[in-house]
Structure 1
């Protein structure tokens, strides 16, 4: 095969172009800090990157879900604590009113406080967080009770679980059972207490009999709060696990995509040296033309 001057020139230009491409590649890596800047640079790395980003996207969604669940649970726990304190105060007032030393006027004053505590409990049962009623099952757009403590939807009260996914295939109930925390007969019973306290003929035994009812409501509330606390602990553990997954996934992304800067700099220096050598060799390989002799 006859090697011509044209062939030598073309090969030289092709090699110089390739060395330019190598320099450009390493310059991109140096400026972006990434191994690849387009899928064609390394399809395997690109595919892994898509997978890692998909995993990270799910983790970020779970973190948002956990924040939502924590918001529900924290507000629910605060509300149940406040309701428990109100019931405890009602119990104290009933004990006081059942004492023989209390007169009719004093019982009337106690009845007024019990009535206010009842209204306070109604407000707690209708607690609204981020424009959602947290004690009405999955019907978060409507209050559970009216101002008098009557179920708004007495025929079909909503006690459904509000479940939110916190990991692949794992959902956790974020609300409490409103039928246990705020049973429908709670406010009716408080109305009975008020009525008896205002009744001049009410006996101490009758008033004292309400203590057992209040204790029952308090125990139901306590049980529901204990169940909520157990789920709060579980969410805390899941939150820690999700945080660890975020770190691990981020490390995988970095290992897959981030360039080894020391190595990139060495490759760039080497590519530049090769390029300069190619230019020097090319200037010697190209033979003088007739124009060079005519100068």
Structure 2
């Protein structure tokens, strides 16, 4: 086959074009820091990248759910800690009132304090965060305890709030209000208040210490459950963070370039491109045939 000057020129131009395209791709990678700037760069890698990003988005959503769960548990535990302090004070007052030597005005002072502390416990039971009541299960828009007419009525929901912290794994984060601030809980306080108002004997008032202890134990039990849930959340969160770090590494392996290698490849290709241009310039110099034409 006869090789003409035109064929040599076309071959040279094609090689220079390919070299230039490769140079442009390397420059784009070095500038963006990414191997994948379009799906055609690596179709298989692009599919992997999409899957990793989808999983990372799910992972980040679960992280937000953990933040919400911790907030709910922390606020619930803080409220119960406050309730426990109030009940401890009421127990102290019960012990003090059971002393048969207390004068009438001293008992009245104790009754007034117990009454005020009972109201405070109602406010704790009706504690809400950002408009959501903590101790009414899924009925977060309704207060669990009604005390408008001077008679305490508890209508707390037993159905807990659950939040998904892992795929297909919902976790209860709310405290059962009926197990802590139950009707019996407030009835015990009302009975103590009435006994103080009616001038019951010190022995009769002392008999109510067991009821106060029941109230305290219900609070302690609820806080113990919150502690167990918090520990479980911490274990699950640590595993979620590990999964997130692994996904980010896999995504980086697929998408991100090795900068040192990318710069070396770019410099090498620039050298190749300059050499190709120099060779092409010599090969494509005008021949005698060009002048005769």
Normalization by structure 2: what TM-score? 0.93
Determine the C-alpha separation between the residues in 2 that align with 1:103 and 1:259. Answer: 85
Instruction: Give the drift of 1:6.
Output: 2.7
Instruction: Give the drift of 1:127.
Output: 0.8
Q: Which residue does the alignment assign to 1:196?
A: 195
Instruction: Give the drift of 1:293.
Output: 4.7
| Alignment match of 2:230 (pick from 229, 232, 235) | 232
Q: Which residue does the alignment assign to 1:102?
A: 102
Structure 2 CA distance for partners of 1:42 and 1:89, relative to 1, 3 Å: same
5+ long unaligned stretches in structure 1: none
Q: Which residue does the alignment assign to 1:244?
A: 242
How many corresponding residue pairs?
A: 290
Q: Which residue does the alignment assign to 2:62?
A: 62
Instruction: Give the drift of 1:149.
Output: 6.2
Instruction: Give the drift of 1:122.
Output: 0.3
Normalization by structure 1: what TM-score? 0.92
Q: Which residue does the alignment assign to 1:12?
A: 12
Structure 2 CA distance for partners of 1:244 and 1:5, relative to 1, 3 Å: same
Q: Is residue 52–residue 251 contact of structure 2 (8 Å, CA) maintained in 1?
A: yes
Deviation track 1:188-211 (CA, whole Å, cap 9, x = no partner) reads 3212211111113x2222211211
Q: Is residue 126–residue 145 contact of structure 2 (8 Å, CA) maintained in 1?
A: yes
Q: Is residue 137–residue 158 contact of structure 2 (8 Å, CA) maintained in 1?
A: yes
Query: Are 1:43 and 2:43 an aligned pair?
Result: yes
Instruction: Give the drift of 1:38.
Output: 0.8
Q: Which residue does the alignment assign to 1:277?
A: 275
Deviation track 1:30-86 (CA, whole Å, cap 9, x = no partner) reads 111111211111111111111111121111111111110100111111111111111
Instruction: Give the drift of 1:182.
Output: 0.6
Q: Which residue does the alignment assign to 1:142?
A: 142
Query: Counterparts of 1:127-276 in structure 2 under 5 Å?
Result: 127-147=127-147, 148=150, 150-151=152-153, 154=155, 157-200=156-199, 202-276=200-274
Instruction: Give the drift of 1:292.
Output: 7.0
SS of the residue corresponding to residue 165 of structure 2 reads strand
Q: Is residue 86–residue 117 contact of structure 2 (8 Å, CA) maintained in 1?
A: yes
Q: Is residue 149–residue 187 contact of structure 1 (8 Å, CA) maintained in 2?
A: no
SS of the residue corresponding to residue 192 of structure 1 reads helix
Deviation track 1:131-171 (CA, whole Å, cap 9, x = no partner) reads 2101001011111112346336x4xx411111111112222
Determine the C-alpha separation between the residues in 1 that align with 2:69 and 2:198. Answer: 46
5+ long unaligned stretches in structure 2: none
Determine the C-alpha separation between the residues in 1 that align with 2:111 and 2:278. Answer: 104
Aligned-pair Cα RMSD in Å: 1.8
Deviation track 1:250-290 (CA, whole Å, cap 9, x = no partner) reads 12222221111222122212222222222222222225256
Determine the C-alpha separation between the residues in 1 that align with 2:151 and 2:68. Answer: 28
Determine the C-alpha separation between the residues in 2 that align with 1:283 and 1:189. Answer: 102
Determine the C-alpha separation between the residues in 2 that align with 1:226 and 1:90. Answer: 21
Q: Report which stretch shifted further, 64-73 or 185-194.
A: 185-194
Determine the C-alpha separation between the residues in 2 that align with 1:293 and 1:228. Answer: 94
Determine the C-alpha separation between the residues in 2 that align with 1:273 and 1:221. Answer: 76
Instruction: Give the drift of 1:120.
Output: 0.5
